[in-house]
Amino acid sequence: MNLFSRKKGAVKGSADADRDTSHFSLPPPNLLLGISPQATKPNEDVESALIKRLESNGHGKCDACGVTINGDMRHSLSSRGNWYNVCSMCYYPTHLDKIPFYDEGNIIYFPNMSQARLNAFLRGLWVVQFFANTDPENEEMRDVAETLSDLERTLEHVVKVTVNIAKAPSDTGIYASTLHLLQDHEYAQRHKYFGGFRWLPSKDMYEKEIPFWAQNDYKNLHYEQMASNITKFMEEYTPSFRIKE
């Protein structure tokens, strides 16, 4: 699985859409930060049609970031008139007020990367850490995990909206409250003012999912591929960083 981008063929009407990504024939969903009162709710027909899109074993892919999800991990997301099955990392940014209050993560200003790519990157990072912990003999994986800890700190230092700018203790809740205050027409235009903001989820919220993702999406991914993806990420976003040789 590619950690960084959707597969080719994701564009609507693309002639070379992969057979196994046929559900990606829709344009990618928009994961602009939002709140649930403004979101379109699925009716029963929509829900059952989306559940049917999952495979017979109840598994499927997140239509935004491509990770494997099962029925319990699936959320329904409406975007630009289409319906999607998405993972919770892709659902919560668009429903900030639904994030469990005990672990709401942070809002960061990070226009360089889409929310879906940020989610896929973070997940890759967490899975490598998981592999390194479950297989301590694997020195190569441990090295990659150590390097990733540096990356985690880099992301931790990205400017946070309320903590750094408004000097407030919490972040996601205040951002969601601000969205609540907007008039409908302002909310519809929020990409103009808030387009560069992303939700930075907390790893603790995904303790249960990480082993599932490791098993389903990353098991056969060689650590060198992960390292090369990480290097690409860092070259693009933090030019002074070099992965450990």
Name the residues that contact Zn ion, by CB under 5 A: 62, 64-65, 87, 90
Closest approach, Cβ 133 to Zn ion, in A, equals: 23
Angstrom distance (rounded) from CA 104 to CA 135: 30
Element (H, E) at 70: strand 68-70
Q: Which is nearer to Zn ion, 30 or 147 (CB)?
A: 30
Q: Which is nearer to Zn ion, 77 or 226 (CB)?
A: 77
Closest approach, Cβ 120 to Zn ion, in A, equals: 8
Angstrom distance (rounded) from CA 10 to CA 22: 9
Which residues lie across from 78 on neighbouring strands? 83
Closest approach, Cβ 223 to Zn ion, in A, equals: 23
Q: Which is nearer to Zn ion, 80 or 167 (CB)?
A: 80
Closest approach, Cβ 243 to Zn ion, in A, equals: 25
Q: Is 64 exposed, middle or buried (0-12, 13-18, 19+ CB in 10 A)?
A: buried
Q: Which is nearer to Zn ion, 171 or 209 (CB)?
A: 209
From residue 80, give the alpha-carbon distance in Å to each of 41, 112, 131, 188. Answer: 13, 23, 38, 12
Q: Which of 124, 105, 82, 80 is nearest to 198 (CA)?
A: 105
Task: Please give the structure tokens belonging to residue 34.
Answer: 């939002």
Closest approach, Cβ 33 to Zn ion, in A, equals: 15
Q: Which is nearer to Zn ion, 74 or 142 (CB)?
A: 74
Task: Please give the structure tokens belonging to residue 15.
Answer: 């002639």
